[in-house]
Amino acid sequence: MASRTLSFAVLSQLLTRLGGQPYPDYLRDQIFTPLGMRDTAFLPTAPHRAAPVHHSGESARRQRFRQRAIAGGRLWSTAAALVALGQTRLNGGQHGDYTLLGPATLATMRRLQASDKLDGGDGIAPPFSSGLGWGKGSLVPGAWGSATAYEPGGATGTRLWIDPDWDLVFVYLSNTWGDETETARRALKAV
């Protein structure tokens, strides 16, 4: 959802100004490194291992896109790193001795904050439900998971699904631009 991305843009500016370092560096130092997410960054840490993003336009456009640190998206990562992030959230924000977020903050972020139908101008108005920066896809009719589940989406079909009631972290990595995530939904249903 575009408004969620704009909210992250504001958040990145706040973190940059209050944290005293660029947003990508702040994420690296305060989230990725403490959680052991060494393969998570705005540029692939091992470019030779990075899968190309299919249907993202011509090569020069992809190259420009890869070089941007866009708040709310465009990170490169691995399944193991995303599982570590999800597990930290299931552990009340704790990763070993490191506290990423407190339990009250986590509860506020995953609580339903907005729910409506979003018309993209094409007459199709799919329902959406959202916490603070996290989708509440479990509340959409026909969805799987408990009512406490939450997820961020990805422009390439990637999914990180965290379900506290089921003690479940589900990661689905894809690299097809504009993927509608039907395959991810089927995989989650199978799990």
Whichever domain contains 111, its CATH number is: 3.40.710.10
Q: Where are the alpha helices (DSSP H) in 20-102?
A: 23-27, 59-66, 79-90
pTM, entire model: 0.80
How large is the average pLDDT for residues 157-175? 87
Tens digits of residue pLDDT in 27-74: 999 999 999 999 898 887 777 777 666 555 556 665 665 567 777 777
**What total number of domains does the chain contain?**
1
- Rounded CA-CA distance 122/99 in Å is 44
Tens digits of residue pLDDT in 125-148: 666 677 777 877 766 666 777 888
The backbone torsions φ and ψ at residue 176, rounded to the nearest 5 degrees and listed phi first, read -115, 115
Residue 13 pLDDT: 92
Q: Where are the alpha helices (DSSP H) in the chain?
A: 2-19, 23-27, 59-66, 79-90, 103-110, 182-190
> Across the chain, what does the average pLDDT equal?
80
Q: What percent of the chain has pLDDT over 70?
A: 72
Of 176, 154, 179, the residue nearest 75 (C-alpha): 154
Which residues are registered as beta bridge partners of 161? Answer: 170
Q: DSSP letter for 70, please.
A: -
The backbone torsions φ and ψ at residue 54, rounded to the nearest 5 degrees and listed phi first, read -75, 145
- Rounded CA-CA distance 178/117 in Å is 20
Domain carrying residue 148? 2-190
Decide: 35 and 88 in contact? Cβ < 8 Å. yes
